[in-house]
């Protein structure tokens, strides 16, 4: 049997061949949009960073002799004079997960070249992300007002504050960056840049609706990371 080929390119056998095919952009990544490939590589590296943060959090929490604060009490929000555990966090999670759905629909309508629907859904996603950031700012201000600092914590273990501000702050920065790009892309969609193939602001390459999908990859990743933060930080 002859060696397998991809569009006239010979695939080398064995592990050496796999390394060769991966290293060259002519086989494994042939036909893949360069923007998608770069976004996946970035998300992979970002996964390692968030994983290190969460592993460090688990290690710190498991090793401290001081009692860890109860998330249901620390993150409770008063509703009509009654403290409701994790009320704000639940709303934040709902808003962010919902924005992931609107982003997926924006990608769908983008590839269908439905400019109006795509633009409104990207804008809705941006507003959802902005709402999340606003609620997170309120959460931060509430805890700071109650005395939580990166170096001290009135609710228990002092390292609680440093982990909280580091992990949620790093994630909030990702969301904020995504919101900025969502507003920019909403403008580009409504302005018809992708229908006309207009070149980008910092590149000579023509724009296309694939950019919406690339931004969608980033946004879905941010939402997925929040699910892990929610489970490890607020439910544990």
CATH of domain 34-234: 1.20.120.80
- Quickly state the pLDDT bin for 10 (edges 50, 70, 90): low
pLDDT tens-digit map of 129-169: 999 999 999 999 999 998 888 888 888 888 888 999 999 99
Over the range 163-182, which residues count as b (16 or more CB within 10 Å of their CB) and which as e? bbbebbeebbebbeebbebb
What would the two tokens of residue 5 be? 């080929």
Report for 2-16, 28-42, 141-155: range of highest mean pLDDT: 141-155
**Other C-beta atoms within 10 Å of 11: how many?**
14
The helix/strand/coil state of 199 is strand
Residue 48 pLDDT > 90: yes
Average pLDDT, the chain: 84
**Any idea which residue has 């990371």 for tokens?**
225
- Exposure string of 125-153, with b = 16+ CB inside 10 Å and e = fewer, is bbbbbbbbbebbeebbeebeeeebeeeeb
**Considering the entire predicted model, what is its pTM?**
0.83
More confident residue, 206 or 180: 180
Does 231 have pLDDT greater than 70?
yes
Tell me what percent of the residues of the chain surpass a pLDDT of 70. 83
Query: Quick one: pLDDT at residue 6?
Result: 46
Kindly write down the DSSP assignment for every residue of 49-115, as one continuous string. Answer: HHHHHHHHHHHHHHH-SSPPP-HHHHT-EEETTEEETTHHHHHHHHHHHHHHHHHHHHHHHHHTT-H
Q: What is the pLDDT at residue 194?
A: 82
Q: Considering the chain, what percentage of its residues have pLDDT values greater than 90?
A: 49
Q: Start-end ranges of CATH 1.20.120.80 in the chain?
A: 34-234
Going by pLDDT thresholds of 50, 70 and 90, the confidence category of residue 203 is low
Which among 14-18, 129-133, 154-158, 198-202 has the top mean pLDDT? 129-133
**Torsion (CA) 222, 110, 101, 218 in degrees, nearest 10:** -10
Where is 9: in which H helix or E strand? Answer: strand 9-10
């Amino acid at each position: 049997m002859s060696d397998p080929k991809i569009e006239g390119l010979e695939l080398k056998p064995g592990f050496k061949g796999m390394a060769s095919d991966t290293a060259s952009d002519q086989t494994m990544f042939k036909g893949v949009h360069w923007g998608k490939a770069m976004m996946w590589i970035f998300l992979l590296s970002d996964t390692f960073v968030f994983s290190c943060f969460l592993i460090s959090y688990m290690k710190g929490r498991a090793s401290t002799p001081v009692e860890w604060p109860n998330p249901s009490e620390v993150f409770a929000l008063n509703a009509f004079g009654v403290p409701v555990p994790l009320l704000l966090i639940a709303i934040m999670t709902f808003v962010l997960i919902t924005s992931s759905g609107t982003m997926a629909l924006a990608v769908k309508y983008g590839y269908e070249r439905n400019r109006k629907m795509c633009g409104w859904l990207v804008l809705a996603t941006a507003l959802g992300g902005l709402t999340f950031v606003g609620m997170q700012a309120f959460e931060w201000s509430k805890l700071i007002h109650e005395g939580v600092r990166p170096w001290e914590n009135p609710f228990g273990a002092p390292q609680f504050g440093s982990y909280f501000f580091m992990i949620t702050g790093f994630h909030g920065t990702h969301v904020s960056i995504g919101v900025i790009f969502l507003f920019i892309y909403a403008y580009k969609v409504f302005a018809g840049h992708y229908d006309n193939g207009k070149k980008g602001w910092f590149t000579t390459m023509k724009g296309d609706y694939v950019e919406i999908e690339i931004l969608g990859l980033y946004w879905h990743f941010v939402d997925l990371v929040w699910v892990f933060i929610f489970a490890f930080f607020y439910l544990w």
